[in-house]
Chain A
Amino acid sequence: MPKNMFNTLFSTVYSAIMETVGLLAEPIQRWLGTQRMGYFFVLPNMLIFGVFILFPMLLNFYYAMTGGTQLFPQDRPFVGLSNFERLFTCGDFLNPNTCVEDRFWRAVFNTIVFVVFQVGGMVLLALITALILNRKIVGRGFFRSVFFYPVLLSPVVVALIWKWILQRDGLLNALIVSLGGERTLFLLNSNWATFWAIVVSIWAQMGFYMLILLAGLQAIPKELYEAADIDGANSWQSFQYVTMPLLMPTMLVVLVLSLIRAVQVFDQIFVLTGGGPGTSTFYMVQYIYVTGFSNQIQQFGLASAASVVLGLTLLVFTLIQLRLGRTNAY
């Protein structure tokens, strides 16, 4: 098809669509006025947000204050804050065994440990990897791809691969035994299971954050490094006074995203360890799932209350980080 014909066809179709939109928009503009016309354009997005995010969120708040096993909100008795009271009744908050909902607190502590080590470890490793891959090294493109590939895998596939590696008769134990070592129950010992849950999670996600940091590093003007060089700054000083300050906004994005994702951890670990051994890798989202769905008596109210707590915690973390980001803005 000649180019001119294509352009003519395209502009005809485009004009037809715009005229149709205009037919609808013009009377609305007359009614709303030009100033408020912006609301009309964001309305579709707001509707989707309202129906699929805001409404379920509000419904979740309501469920958190209801009891019983009925599914529909109108059938559920209102119980006020008793679900929250149940979650927060503890003899000693540092000892889950003294709490009425001990598994909730085990899940909370497990999630805290996971978040601290997973986010900390991952951001550090992603930064180091990004710094290395930002240099002109041999096979840079290859290594960038290699680090990013695990991100493309489904969490279930990642978990199954690692399960084959880590189980009693898995690859790692086969290697250890062939080297004369003793078989280790990596997924059946609490400490090992926690360690591997964190490692697997870092392995699966690090490439994504590395890529964001790499983009941040490449956005730093070369002139600044040259200026630092002229001023006699060594490599560490360049990193400390040029790279880090300018990378901070990107770091903040990475921190917020990875933290939210870490708190929401579920599918990968559920397949890898099932939350075990015992409750060693039992995290908050699994608690919500088990309480709300996998028991014969499905306690939607308690599960909703726990998810409200989880949501508020995430909100607080995010606000703190944004605040810190603003304070440290360069």
Chain B
Amino acid sequence: MKRLNLLLVFVLLLSLASVSVQAQNVIELRMTWYTDGNEDQVMRDLLDRFEAANPDIKVVMDVVPYSAILETLPVQLAAGEGPDMARVTDLGGLAKYYLDMSPYLSDTAYWEENMGPFLKWMRTPDNDTAISGFMTQLTVTGPYINRTLFEQAGIEVPSDTRADVTWEEWAEVTRAVAEATGTQFAMAMDRTGHRFAGPAISMGAKYFNDEGKPMVVGDEGFRAMAQMLLDWHADGTMPLEVWAGSSGSYVAANEEFINVKTVLYMSGSWQIGQFAKNIGDAFDWEAVPNPCGPAACTGMPGGAALVAIGTTKHPEAVARVMEFLASEEILGEFYARTLFIPGHLGLAEKGVDFVTDVEQAKQALSVFASQVGKLDPIAYALQAYPFNRVIFNATRDRLTQAIVGELTLDEAITRIQEDIDAALAEAGR
């Protein structure tokens, strides 16, 4: 009996040691992730599949608020304490921290062929061949409308008959709908310079001077759109809560749209998933083509990418995870389940069979996908500019000051330029 006990203890110790050795052989990678809708669940599901096929790699997802991606992650990266992979939106601004996976990828041509235009957004000027990640979503900014309110008001949706509806026309017609239906606001726009940029470019904003330097002073298109934004807040077309109600951070107006407080909502394609979930078919919501100005009818491109971080201790393992996730089949499934516009040319051409029963979501996806080819070249240039958030944040904060009367519009535009110049000077030290 004593011998049997000893044998049992020995076997137990042996199996514990074997588990421990196995655990030591597993590479643990960390992925910092943020989520707008269900993409954290979909990604986890895909990673589980990867781990089942690759038992030597384990990927831990750290799901953080979006603000942590903007504010905390850059400090972590600068300190060399970043994760192995991260989902980011400041693609160019953080490019110096990315890992060039080219030496570890089995088929770089696949990446160039299917993701070429977007890889440029993730590169630094000194390495124009780097492959650092793939787009988890391509986004396009544009407006949503509440069609049910139009029907209740007995007013025709202007884009049903014409493609070139201007911002002024949308403002007028949505005001009429709001008045007829008792809706609080005609229009709302997320509090960010990125959302403002599309309409501004449509109004003729150039954003850059002839030397390619950011310049908003003397930019008549920029001024025209800024004036409209001020007027819409002054006359109650837009809710003060979104732009005026804050001082230095991004504010989304999606709750206003979901709760039927606004007729039109200027946001972007990434809202489709959560609208499908939170609105469903409670009312008829849909995306409409970007309104026009004298210069264009454009929104802004953008998106989020999953990038490999240069400080990883396991570049080969990271590349294996990324290759799996970026493969056409897996990425196609990710886009289909998250309702994201594909940032993969092959999938965009073939078309993604989006997993949703909500007709409104399918319509919105179709509208936003059709907008990709219609975006203005200035919009692409602005999105590719590595310090574009400096321009966007200065625009957001200074125009807010003009909305509440702390600055005149001209003072605000001068301050935007000063903020941009000061930040760029600091970055150049």
| Chain A residues near B (Cβ < 8 Å) | 67-72, 77, 79, 97, 100, 102, 106, 167-168, 185, 187-188, 190, 273-282, 286, 290, 293-299, 301-302
Bound CA span A302–B70, Å:
19
Residue of A nearest to B92 (CB): A296
Bound CA span A61–B74, Å:
23
Residue of A nearest to B386 (CB): A296
Contact B424 A297 (CB under 8 A): yes
Known contacts A71-B75, A185-B240, A298-B75: A274-B249 contact under CB 8 Å: yes
Residue of B nearest to A298 (CB): B74
A100 to chain B, nearest CB (A): 8
For A167, the chain B residues whose CB sits under 8 A away are 241
For B249, the chain A residues whose CB sits under 8 A away are 274, 294
Contact A296 B389 (CB under 8 A): yes
Stretch from B8-16, B371-379, B396-404 that touches the partner: B396-404
Bound CA span A294–B248, Å:
8
B240 to chain A, nearest CB (A): 5
Bound CA span A188–B403, Å:
11
Our pick among A168, A282, A302 for the contact of B247 (Cβ within 8 Å) is: A282
B387 at the interface (CB under 8 A from A): yes
Residue of A nearest to B393 (CB): A295
Instruction: Provide a sorted-by-A list of 11 A–B residue pairs whose CB atoms are within 8 angstroms.
Output: A68-B426, A69-B426, A69-B429, A71-B75, A72-B79, A167-B241, A273-B246, A275-B246, A276-B247, A277-B400, A299-B426
A141 to chain B, nearest CB (A): 41
- Interface hub of A77, A188, A296 (most chain B Cβ within 10 A): A296
Contact B75 A102 (CB under 8 A): no
Interface of B is mostly: helix
Our pick among B74, B251, B387, B418 for the contact of A274 (Cβ within 8 Å) is: B251
For B79, the chain A residues whose CB sits under 8 A away are 71-72
Contact A277 B75 (CB under 8 A): no
Contact B241 A279 (CB under 8 A): no
Bound CA span A30–B401, Å:
68
Our pick among A71, A277, A293, A301 for the contact of B244 (Cβ within 8 Å) is: A277
B411 at the interface (CB under 8 A from A): yes
B38 to chain A, nearest CB (A): 26
Contact B245 A188 (CB under 8 A): yes
- Interface hub of B75, B244, B390, B411 (most chain A Cβ within 10 A): B244
| Chain B residues near A (Cβ < 8 Å) | 70-71, 74-75, 78-79, 90, 93, 240-241, 244-249, 251, 387, 389-390, 393, 400-401, 403-407, 411, 415, 418, 423-424, 426-427, 429
Known contacts A274-B247, A276-B246, A278-B400: A294-B70 contact under CB 8 Å: yes
Bound CA span A168–B185, Å:
13
B67 to chain A, nearest CB (A): 8
Contact A276 B71 (CB under 8 A): no
For B71, the chain A residues whose CB sits under 8 A away are 293-294
For A301, the chain B residues whose CB sits under 8 A away are 426
A130 to chain B, nearest CB (A): 35
Contact A276 B429 (CB under 8 A): no
Contact B427 A97 (CB under 8 A): no
Residue of A nearest to B250 (CB): A294
Bound CA span A278–B403, Å:
8
Contact B240 A188 (CB under 8 A): yes
Our pick among B248, B390, B404 for the contact of A190 (Cβ within 8 Å) is: B404
For A102, the chain B residues whose CB sits under 8 A away are 415
Contact A279 B247 (CB under 8 A): yes
Known contacts A296-B90, A297-B426: A278-B406 contact under CB 8 Å: yes
For A280, the chain B residues whose CB sits under 8 A away are 404
For B389, the chain A residues whose CB sits under 8 A away are 295-296
Contact A71 B78 (CB under 8 A): yes
Residue of A nearest to B424 (CB): A297
For A293, the chain B residues whose CB sits under 8 A away are 71, 75
Contact B93 A296 (CB under 8 A): yes
For A68, the chain B residues whose CB sits under 8 A away are 426-427, 429
Known contacts A97-B407, A190-B404: A295-B390 contact under CB 8 Å: yes
Bound CA span A70–B90, Å:
17
For B406, the chain A residues whose CB sits under 8 A away are 106, 278-279
Contact B393 A296 (CB under 8 A): yes
Contact B401 A274 (CB under 8 A): no
Our pick among A69, A72, A276 for the contact of B400 (Cβ within 8 Å) is: A276
Bound CA span A298–B393, Å:
12
Bound CA span A277–B239, Å:
12
B404 to chain A, nearest CB (A): 4
Residue of A nearest to B247 (CB): A275
Known contacts A296-B423, A298-B75: A277-B415 contact under CB 8 Å: no
A235 to chain B, nearest CB (A): 47
